[in-house]
Amino acid sequence: MQKRGKKNPKTKYLYIYPIKAGFPSPAEEYLETVLDITSLVIQNPNSTFFGRVKGKSMEEEGIKDQDIIVIDKSIKPQNGNIVVCTIDGVFVIKTLKIKGKKIELESSNSKYKTIEIKKENEFEIWGTVTWTIHKVRNVRTRGL
């Protein structure tokens, strides 16, 4: 028997597909077998890690404060990718913009300025964001 509070990373869960966001059709019944969330979000286990977002600069991309993000270091960062990088020792999540030899990091929230990477900056791209995981607002978890 598994102790309460311990997680089994090998657990696979039942899932339903598709779940329509429009008018439901009672004639459609789709119960798939199992969903292994780990293999869904982690394509390259040796180069994948998780992070927790702090701040609101990427909200327009659906990445909110306290979200968990999945970052894959094996994906070559390309123009337009959302990346996690360090600038002068500080981790940030931004959209990568490559304009010739110029690199900029753009927030999706217009309240935040675009960061232009300069020669004097210590800059490293840690990886490309592949997934974001966040809790649905106003979910009651105890009692009704």
Q: Is 57 a catalytic residue?
A: yes
**Strands 123-133 vs 90-99: parallel, antiparallel or unpaired:** unpaired
Q: Is 138 left (phi over 0), alpha (psi -120 to 50) or beta?
A: left
Residue tagged active-site, from 64, 94, 102, 111: 94
Element containing residue 41 per DSSP (H, E): helix 37-41
The reply to whether 7 belongs to the active site is no
Handedness of CA 85, 87, 93, 95 (dihedral sign): negative
State the burial class of residue 130 (Cβ atoms within 10 Å of its Cβ: 0-12, 13-18, 19+).
Answer: middle
Taking the alpha carbons of 116, 119, 124, 128 in that order, is the dihedral positive or negative?
Answer: positive
Active-site option among 57, 64, 113, 119: 57
> Hey, which residues are catalytic here?
57, 94
